[in-house]
């Protein structure tokens, strides 16, 4: 398989996942209070949509940068990519479930948030595996210098170490866990993955 097929398949999956998020943005309709009141009651859905949309968007941007720098597509890479996509397609389900139960309180609220955080943890592990694969010798067109491998790995696998405690935090304070997950999304907006370019020696700075 060449890079274009891998990227096209991944783009299709990401596009479907990001579109499905919007299906959770509904209101009960006339006869269930004023529209403003209904919109106010649905704030968890809108916040969850924003966080999940931004996260999937960041995955798409960074995935594009990574694939553009891949020298060869092998069987291991394809399976790593599938692991990432498994969790990406679960994000709409986790988002809708979390938004529905977040303000209800009790164990259901905690479990829903824990599921949401767990899906993000799985997604982060998949992307971390993809990053680490690109750092291996011969896998990148413009490889990151060996002396920078550790810093690159730490910077771009940070989510793995934050989403995991967010799962536990969900059972203490679901809203706090949501804030933590949102902050990870903000972090990755400004953090870039290794990208190709004639002058590239690893990570391009903004």
Q: Is residue 29 part of a domain?
A: no
What is the reported pTM? Answer: 0.85
Instruction: Show the low-confidence residues of the chain (pLDDT under 50).
Output: 195-206
* Predicted local distance difference test score (pLDDT) of residue 205: 35
* Predicted local distance difference test score (pLDDT) of residue 32: 67
Overall number of domains in the chain: 1
* Predicted local distance difference test score (pLDDT) of residue 163: 96
* Predicted local distance difference test score (pLDDT) of residue 114: 97
Q: Is residue 199 part of a domain?
A: no
C-alpha triplet 22, 6, 201: angle, nearest 5°:
105
* Predicted local distance difference test score (pLDDT) of residue 104: 83
* Predicted local distance difference test score (pLDDT) of residue 40: 75
* Predicted local distance difference test score (pLDDT) of residue 10: 95
* Predicted local distance difference test score (pLDDT) of residue 200: 41
- Comparing C-alpha atoms, which of 191, 206, 2, 14 is closest to residue 92? 14
Q: Range of 123's domain?
A: 3-24+44-190
H/E segment holding residue 23:
none
Q: Is residue 30 part of a domain?
A: no
């Amino acid at each position: 398989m060449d890079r274009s097929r891998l990227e096209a398949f991944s783009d299709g999956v990401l596009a479907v996942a990001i579109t499905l998020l919007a299906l959770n943005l509904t209101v009960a309709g006339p006869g269930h209070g004023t529209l403003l009141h209904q919109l106010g009651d649905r704030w968890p859905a809108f916040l969850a949509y924003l966080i999940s949309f931004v996260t999937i968007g960041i995955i798409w941007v960074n995935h594009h940068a990574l694939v553009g720098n891949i020298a060869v597509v092998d069987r291991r890479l394809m399976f790593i990519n599938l692991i990432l996509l498994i969790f990406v397609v679960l994000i709409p389900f986790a988002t809708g479930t979390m938004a529905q139960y977040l303000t209800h309180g009790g164990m259901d609220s905690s479990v829903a948030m824990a599921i949401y955080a767990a899906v993000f943890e799985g997604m982060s592990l998949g992307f971390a595996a993809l990053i680490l694969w690109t750092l291996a010798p011969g896998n990148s067109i413009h490889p990151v210098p060996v002396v920078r491998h550790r810093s690159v790995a730490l910077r771009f696998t940070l989510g793995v170490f934050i989403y995991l405690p967010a799962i536990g935090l969900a059972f203490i304070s679901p809203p706090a866990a949501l804030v933590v997950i949102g902050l990870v999304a903000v972090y990755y907006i400004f953090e870039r993955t290794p990208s190709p370019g004639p002058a590239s020696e690893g990570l391009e700075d903004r």
